[in-house]
Amino acid sequence: MNSREIKTQISKAADLLNLKKWDYGASFSNDYSVQVDKGEAKQLKASQKQILTIRVWNQSNLVGITTTSDISESGIKKALKQANIASDFGNKNETTEFSPLAKDPIKVKEIKKRNPVGIKKLLTLLRGAELKLIESHESIKSVPYNGLSESFFERVYANSEGAFRSYSKSQAALYLYARAEEKNKKPRSSGSVKLGYGAGDIDIESCIKEASNKTISHLNYSSIKTDKYLICFSPESFLTIINAFSSMFNARSIIDGVSLSNKNSIGEKISTEALNIYDDSLHEKNISSTPFDGEGTPTKRLCLINRGRIENFIHSESTARIFKTTPTGHAGLGSKVSVSPDWIVVEKSEENIDLKTSLDHSTYEGEFVYIEELNAIHAGVRASQGSFSLPFDGWLYKNGKKISIESATVAGDIKYLLKNIVNIESSQEVTTSGISPHIWVNELSITGDA
């Protein structure tokens, strides 16, 4: 059944059940992936997947929902029936409606859809990448975590008032995590991830080089003294922090009482005036961009922090109605509609006169800790309390030398961190979760050796 046929089928089945108001989101995907182990194919995977989520409104205008992978005629009927039963338990205190923007035009990036290169080609590419990475340095003994995948999918949103939108795209991903070992030293590991619209678009050479350089750079390591340090966050690690605390900008989290912000926080100064943050699913560098959200609302560039002050929250249909504004294209279809950011863009604002521009990660000769990558986000972030304590990979720069930090955590408070940004470098770097320059923060606690 194709996406148009599903709509017809749902419409027919809804009529039989006397359901006048409904919407649905569906996705169809074909995925292919390979993993290798020292030149040998390890696991080769393919999947055909389909998921349908249907919402129905009963006569009391309460919403019920069901999700299924059975997109057959009988599956659709069953899903509608279950959703109808679930609507008896719909939330009476916060009603849900169709997005008022579900029929607005969407901006679809003009990207030529790639064709599958096939498992054999993926395998050849990954074997070559693994070999090159192992040969790049004598200490690199293996690439225990590796994979090359390509996905082709279509997403659809439609509702009983005539909205229908779909888009299809392709995406490929390569990850290489090498393990280096030297005598009488602990094994060290690091890696790189690259995305592309197709396997042929992925910059494999730079992935190999990055994985190799990072891994080798951690070979000479030392413990770090527990203390407070000047910190330079890599673009990737700063975006990790911002995403971890994105409940600050999330209207759903505010309503649920799990955000550090409240309804009146728009305009509140939360960071140095030199900081601007946007959410921009449609950014030209975002390979994972989506033109509409789970409720069919078009996505767009939205300013979250403007010159250090909260400018906007991200919304679904219902949160926007509660906040008396319009949906922003950040909804995920569910019984309780979720809200989440897409792709974060961090920039230096024009109010940057107070920044210490001498702090540049490639030239600064004073002592600082460079945080390359933050780990264990799910465990170490208390978003509702604003605190974090996270293990990281990085280096201590001291006396003009750089040494990998053996094992350490960085701890602090997001509000403190944002207010103590002392420099935002000029050059932005693209990562898988957004785009950001290097960010310098004064005095965060690092736990290493006692």
Partner 1 sequence: MLTSQIKSNEIVFGSSNKDLLEEIIFYGIGLGADFVEIFIENTDNSSVLAEEDFITSVSPSFGRGAGIRIFKGKKDGFVSTNDLTKHGLMRSVSQAIEMLDITDNKRGVFNGLNKHRNYSLSKKKWINEVPSINEISEKLLVSTKSLKKNNKIITRKGSYSRNLQEVIIASSDGTYVSDIRLHQTVGLNVIASDAQYRSSGSRRFGSSGVPNEFRLWDHEKAANDVFESSMNMLYADYVDAGQMPVVLANKFGGVIFHEACGHLLETTQIERGTTPFENKLNEKIAHESVTAIDEGISEGSFGSLSVDDEGMEPEKSVLIKDGILKKFLSDRAGELRTGHKRTGSGRRQNYSFAAASRMRNTYIAKGEHSKEDLINSISEGLYCKSMGGGSVGATGQFNFAVEEGYLIKNGKLTSPVKGATLIGEAKEVMPKISMCGNDLELAPGFCGSISGSVNVTVGQPHIKVDSITVGGR
Out of 2, 8, 47, 61, the residue judged to bind partner 1 by CB under 8 A: 47
200 near partner 1, judged by CB under 8 A: no
263 near partner 1, judged by CB under 8 A: no
Q: Which is nearer to partner 1, 222 or 226 (CB)?
A: 226
Out of 39, 161, 205, 376, the residue judged to bind partner 1 by CB under 8 A: 376
Q: Which is nearer to partner 1, 109 or 137 (CB)?
A: 137
83 near partner 1, judged by CB under 8 A: yes
For residues 176-195, which are near partner 1 according to CB under 8 A? Answer: 177, 179, 186-189
Q: Minimum CB separation from partner 1 for residue 210, in Å?
A: 16
Out of 4, 12, 20, 45, the residue judged to bind partner 1 by CB under 8 A: 45
Out of 12, 20, 42, 113, the residue judged to bind partner 1 by CB under 8 A: 42
DSSP string over 17-51? TT--EEEEEEEEEEEEEEEEETTEEEEEEEEEEEE
Out of 387, 420, 432, 442, the residue judged to bind partner 1 by CB under 8 A: 387
Give yes or no for a contact between 311 and 276, defined as CB atoms under 8 angstroms apart: no
Question: In terms of DSSP bridges, do strands 227-233 and 275-280 run parallel, antiparallel, or are they unpaired?
Answer: unpaired
Q: What is the C-alpha to C-alpha distance for residues 339 and 334, in angstroms, rounded to an integer?
A: 10
For residues 336-365, which are near partner 1 according to CB under 8 A? Answer: 336
Question: In terms of DSSP bridges, do strands 140-159 and 164-180 run parallel, antiparallel, or are they unpaired?
Answer: antiparallel
214 near partner 1, judged by CB under 8 A: no
For residues 394-413, which are near partner 1 according to CB under 8 A? Answer: 407-409, 411-412
Q: Minimum CB separation from partner 1 for residue 10, in Å?
A: 16
- Only one of the segments 64-72, 130-138, 229-237, 397-405 lies at the binding site for partner 1 (rule: CB under 8 A); that segment is 64-72
DSSP string over 55-72? EEE-TT--EEEEEES--S
217 near partner 1, judged by CB under 8 A: no
Q: Minimum CB separation from partner 1 for residue 365, in Å?
A: 27
Q: What is the C-alpha to C-alpha distance for residues 381 and 393, in angstroms, rounded to an integer?
A: 17
Give yes or no for a contact between 246 and 433, defined as CB atoms under 8 angstroms apart: no
Q: With CB under 8 A as the rule, give the number of residues binding partner 1.
A: 75
Q: What is the C-alpha to C-alpha distance for residues 104 and 296, in angstroms, rounded to an integer?
A: 9
306 near partner 1, judged by CB under 8 A: no
Q: Phi and psi for 85 in degrees, rounded to 5?
A: -65, -45
131 near partner 1, judged by CB under 8 A: no
Q: Minimum CB separation from partner 1 for residue 348, in Å?
A: 29
Per-residue binder mask for partner 1 (CB under 8 A), 95-124, x = binder: ------------------------xx----
Q: Which is nearer to partner 1, 141 or 398 (CB)?
A: 141
Q: Minimum CB separation from partner 1 for residue 373, in Å?
A: 10
91 near partner 1, judged by CB under 8 A: yes
Q: What is the C-alpha to C-alpha distance for residues 334 and 446, in angstroms, rounded to an integer?
A: 39
Q: Phi and psi for 129 in degrees, rounded to 5?
A: -65, -40
- Only one of the segments 35-43, 155-163, 275-283, 296-304 lies at the binding site for partner 1 (rule: CB under 8 A); that segment is 35-43
391 near partner 1, judged by CB under 8 A: yes
Q: What is the C-alpha to C-alpha distance for residues 103 and 313, in angstroms, rounded to an integer?
A: 22
Q: What is the C-alpha to C-alpha distance for residues 42 and 38, in angstroms, rounded to an integer?
A: 9
Q: Could you give the maximum distance between any two Cα atoms of the chain, in Å?
A: 77
429 near partner 1, judged by CB under 8 A: no
321 near partner 1, judged by CB under 8 A: no
Q: Minimum CB separation from partner 1 for residue 377, in Å?
A: 9
Using DSSP, state whether 107 is helix, strand or coil: coil
Cβ-proximal residues to 89 (8 Å cutoff; 6+ apart), any chain: 62, 64
Is the CA virtual torsion 157, 431, 389, 442 positive or negative?
Answer: negative
Q: Which is nearer to partner 1, 83 or 424 (CB)?
A: 83
Q: Minimum CB separation from partner 1 for residue 121, in Å?
A: 11
Question: In terms of DSSP bridges, do strands 344-348 and 434-447 run parallel, antiparallel, or are they unpaired?
Answer: parallel
Q: What is the C-alpha to C-alpha distance for residues 20 and 9, in angstroms, rounded to an integer?
A: 14
Using DSSP, state whether 267 is helix, strand or coil: coil
Q: Minimum CB separation from partner 1 for residue 260, in Å?
A: 9
C-alpha 417: how far from its chain's center?
A: 21
